[in-house]
Structure 1
């Protein structure tokens, strides 16, 4: 059975390999440090039969966005600077890719962002796509690109709620 849990000391970070050195390095050397310092929070996908093996992970952090960077129709709805939740990283181990684990993690990350919205207030969920393929992946969830920087993406709060409702 699959389970998503907080990254802990017992998880085998050393053998995780998603094919992206920067994401591997983050998980292996920085994720727990940043978690302990309150910079970001990392969650891992594990199989309860082998709970130490990380199948995939995502990290969340808070962010602040400059409204004028958003698409024009949205920019006018917000103050000059507004708070958001950010998907800082998402990765699946190479040996487990193309099995739907990314979608499982993405929906869970969105649920956690919605909890933040319901408790402290944010205008939406943000992500920096790592390339064109990643941008297309995030677009399927309703993310839209910033005006001048197409790899910086935004999921408005209303759309976030719709996606979560549809997934439930």
Structure 2
């Protein structure tokens, strides 16, 4: 069995067809959801990316793992999703938004590149398709459109 963990940072479920949205075309994600596991109720363990993602891969709340800011370091003895899969013979490949943060100290995460281009991840999948693998892909593109239009700023500030 192979495992793909696809995280789309700051993407709301109600903007995906697999959760009922009809105003956007999210065909590829909808197809992935139909053939995999889709969670109807997912609650973040922290209000922002660094501690939330660390909680996702450790199973620990932020006050236990201590990764509360970008320059934090995770205790190297902390069990992670990556270490568990690696210990059971899986190839592990991780693509994150920035290789200087988040998982950089987790050698078993095998951070191979950024998620800015899907091409690297697809190439990695092709290369490892005959072996058991864990692919962890953290998409950041959905996070960036948070710029408020100048004409709307007065309504929000």
Q: Shared fold (TM-score greater than 0.5)?
A: no
Give the number of the structure with larger relative contact order, counting CA–CA contacts within 8 Å between residues 6 or more apart: 2
Q: TM-score, normalised by structure 1?
A: 0.26
- Higher fraction of strand: 1
Larger Rg: 2
Q: TM-score, normalised by structure 2?
A: 0.27
